[in-house]
Amino acid sequence: MEKIYNYIDGTVQSTGGSDWFDVYEPATGKVYAQAAESSPDDLDAAVEAARGAFDDWAATPAADRARVLNRLADLVEERTEDFAEAESIDTGKPLSLARNVDVPRVAANLRFYAGAAEHFASESHAMESGAINYTLRQPLGVVGCISPWNLPLYLLSWKIAPALAAGNTVIAKPSELTPMTAYLFSRLFSRAGLPPGVVNVLHGTGAGIGQQIVDHPAIAAISFTGGTRTGETIARSTAGRFKKLSLELGGKNPNIVFADCDVERALDGAVRAGFTNQGEICLCGSRLLVQSGIYDEFREGLVSRVRALQVGDPNDAATDQGALISEAHLEKVLGYLGLAREEGGEILCGGEQVRPDGRCADGWFVAPAVIEGLSAGCRTNQEEIFGPVVSLMPFDDEDEAVALANQSRFGLAASIWSRDIERCLRVAKHVEAGLVWVNTWMVRDLRTPMGGVKQSGMGREGGFESMRFFTEPKNVCVRYD
């Protein structure tokens, strides 16, 4: 059985206690590794190491910090296949997706923030009265980076890279469901030139070590991506300490298709937005709003495309949809499909558990589903399912489309499909979301702000937003006359 160890103060080490937890391969439903369940002593050791490393790392010239991040990117890239295989085993996602999206994005995150380390700048404000202000942007100290299971190393590196670029030291905690790639990553740190203590990786459950990281008085900030309920718990626990928080939470994103769109493009986009990564991406377009004039045509095209998606072994190059992350998550998704029926919805395709032949017979697969006939306010259309489930709703005009899109407690992303650019700009302005795509989905420029409104989160990451989050501005005012 493979073992997954913590990484504390520059060494791979077993937990201080002797507790281990099982790690499953979703595609087979079997345990394939065991990971360290970190104890409060492990956390104290990691925090002590991170505090000890902070002054030197913060004083390291930006160009040297950038060099280390670039070297780390090189090392990940050299091992693309190993990381892709590990990510696919841990998550159940198609190996091709891990190889073409997840791992390249890890390297891209590291390189991007290597550049940001050198280019980040702060403001100065001159006053006519004979004084000048300059704003120092200083690292926060030891920061906590907590990431989820759907894009494990992709999202963890999205937090660690800017934290390091800005001069902080890090306590990172990957999801307990997908710890493998963070472990493999940690084994590259010293080879990349990261001094001991600068990044520490602790494994364990959210309620256990996750909550302890959040509560630790010496950890200055938490960057978190995960479920809205967990985000709320973190916000409550840190309120009294006024910790800096960045929360990227759930979504129930509208995909708004107008009758004047390029229908083929919109169909391709709707399938990608609904079902990439088994629908387990916070940005997925799970509410598909289609204008009445093309509704029937669009529904037909959608269902035939979704029926053609291949569900099965993530190692198979023909597979479009792998396994869901856990048995509990499979039950949750199937539960929502049952709820959709109870609420009067019709499942146009998919929705049943799939049992592939061979090694994946006991894996956690579900056939991608399209539902119609539900009201906008019902639970199926309001709660985040986070699986391969898209709900179709018709609308008549632009005002109704915007009203339906905004009838949600979430506000992460939206897509708009239309050839009328003025309409796109109007809808983009009125839709309540942190990110809006026009005639596309999930095109990401790493310089742009990423995050949501309403219950989709608080704060923004991405580009210099992350550098701002991981630094504290201090204004210095100098009188010179």
Residue 135 beta carbon to ligand TXE: minimum distance, rounded to whole angstroms: 31
Q: Are strands 2-4 and 30-36 parallel, antiparallel or unpaired?
A: parallel
- Closest separation between CB of residue 366 and ligand TXE, Å? 14
Binding site for ligand TXE (CB under 6 A): 146-150, 173, 175-176, 205-207, 210-211, 214, 225-227, 230, 233-234, 248-250, 282, 384, 386
CA proximity to 285, closest of 158, 437, 394, 150? 437
Comparing CB distances to ligand TXE, the nearer of 266 and 283 is: 283
137 versus 173: smaller Cβ distance to ligand TXE:
173
SS (H, E, C) 327-371: HHHHHHHHHHHHHHHHCCCEEEECCCEECCCHHHCCCCEECCEEE
Q: Give the shortest CB-468-to-ligand TXE separation in angstroms.
A: 21
Nearest to ligand TXE of 57, 224 (CB atom) = 224
Shortest distance, CB of residue 34 to ligand TXE, whole angstroms? 16
Taking the complex as a whole, how short is the minimal distance between the CB of residue 148 and ligand TXE, in angstroms?
3
Q: Which strands make up the sheet holding 2-4, listed edge to edge?
A: 2-4, 30-36, 20-25
Closest contact distance (angstroms) between CB of 171 and ligand TXE is 11
Q: Is the dihedral of CA 47, 53, 59, 63 positive or negative?
A: negative
* Adjacent-strand bridge partners of 145: 172, 223
- Of all residues in the shown chain, the one whose CB is closest to ligand TXE is 206
Q: Is 349 a catalytic residue?
A: no
Nearer to ligand TXE, 191 or 229 (CB): 229
Catalytic residue among 261, 282, 284, 360: 282
Q: Which of these is catalytic: 25, 85, 248, 372?
A: 248
Cβ-based nearer residue to ligand TXE, 230 or 418: 230
The question of whether 282 is a catalytic residue gets the answer yes
Nearer to ligand TXE by Cβ, of 278 and 471: the residue is 278
Smaller CB separation from ligand TXE, 227 or 394: 227
Distance CA 188, CA 28 (A): 29
Angle at 278 between CA 277 and CA 284, to 5 degrees: 75
Provide the minimum distance between the beta carbon of 107 and ligand TXE in the complex, in angstroms, as a whole number: 21
Residues catalogued as catalytic = 248, 282
